[in-house]
Amino acid sequence: MDQLWAKIADWLKDILIDGIMSNLSGMFDSTNQKIGEIAGNVGTTPQAWNGGVFTMIQNLSETVIVPIAGLILAVVMTLELIQLITEKNNLHDLDTWMFFKWAFKSAAAVLIVTNTWNIVMGVFDVAQSVVNRASGVIVGNTTIDISSVTNGLEARLQSMEVGELFGLWFQSLFVGITMQAITICVFLVTYGRMIEIYLVTSVAPIPMATMMSKEAGGMGQNYLRSLFALGFQAFLIIVCVAIYAVLVQTISISGDLSAAMWSCMGYTVLLCFSLFKTSSLAKSVFNAH
């Protein structure tokens, strides 16, 4: 009977050891790859990120949104003229200079609307220039490497009991699943930001049409703030990755595989949480609500 239980125990140990080695194999590879690509993704301008999407958004903006912005501009500047006239003591104190002022504001508004795309892309060009210079200075090695722990691991696992192996197998399975989820989250943050940029820029002429209005000008100002927030969100992402790179290199990789896995996962979860916070932080910096 003892021999039977011993054979069953050996069989379970072999299964658990194979499972642990399988879970550890490439556990951090996809995460290392995605985190390593962050600097390149956020350091790319909208036109360089995907030329096909950029061209489509530009065509939509110029052919569909600009005519709507023209109508809004006409209404806004008409109301502006009415306000300028009526605020002068019920038409008893008219100053001809106000008409030159209105003409100048209208010309400036038309110039802004017709060059909206250049203005918007200029904002991102400035932001990406800052990001690219920062990424070359502060981003270090973001690769998680636990090879020193896994060397000769199979021999060490053979000396463990079934209970210990089961606990280690469950931990490696949980950490592996978590790392896959984090990889997806990193993908959502970086790609989602670019999609948000395309969506926001596609309707740019409408808020820009209100820039010269005294009453509705806040709409255009808030829009510009949101553009700067989106642009400099990339800078905050780069800073998060740089902090992560420093923290990863300080992880104590010892013979304790369990501690090494949890440490690596903890820092990566912290990075993921920080990436999601960059959007709200950037908006708070520029007061874009």
**Radius of gyration over alpha carbons of the chain, in Å?**
29
Percent of the chain with pLDDT over 70: 82
| Helix (H), strand (E) at residue 174 | helix 162-202
pLDDT at res. 142: 66
Alpha-carbon distance of 246 to 271, in angstroms, equals: 12
Alpha-carbon distance of 252 to 20, in angstroms, equals: 21
Q: State the DSSP code for 90.
A: G
Q: Is the pLDDT of residue 14 over 80?
A: no
Which residues, 6 or more positions from 224, have their beta carbon under 8 angstroms from its beta carbon? 123
Of the listed ranges 1-10, 221-230, 234-243, 270-279, the least confidently predicted one is 1-10
Whether residue 88 contacts residue 98, with contact meaning beta carbons closer than 8 Å, is answered with yes
Q: What is the pLDDT of residues 250-266, one digit of tens each?
A: 665 555 677 777 777 78
Q: What is the pLDDT of residues 118-152, one digit of tens each?
A: 888 888 888 888 887 877 666 666 677 666 656 66
Token pair 């000769």 in the structure block, residue: 152
Alpha-carbon distance of 234 to 236, in angstroms, equals: 5
Residue type, 8: I
Alpha-carbon distance of 95 to 270, in angstroms, equals: 62
Beta-carbon-side half-sphere exposure of residue 213 (alpha carbons within 13 Å): 22
Prediction pTM value: 0.79
3-state secondary structure 112-170: HHHCHHHHHHHHHHHHHHHHHHHHHHHCCCCCCCCHHHHCCHHHHHHCCCHHHHHHHHH
Whether residue 248 contacts residue 214, with contact meaning beta carbons closer than 8 Å, is answered with no
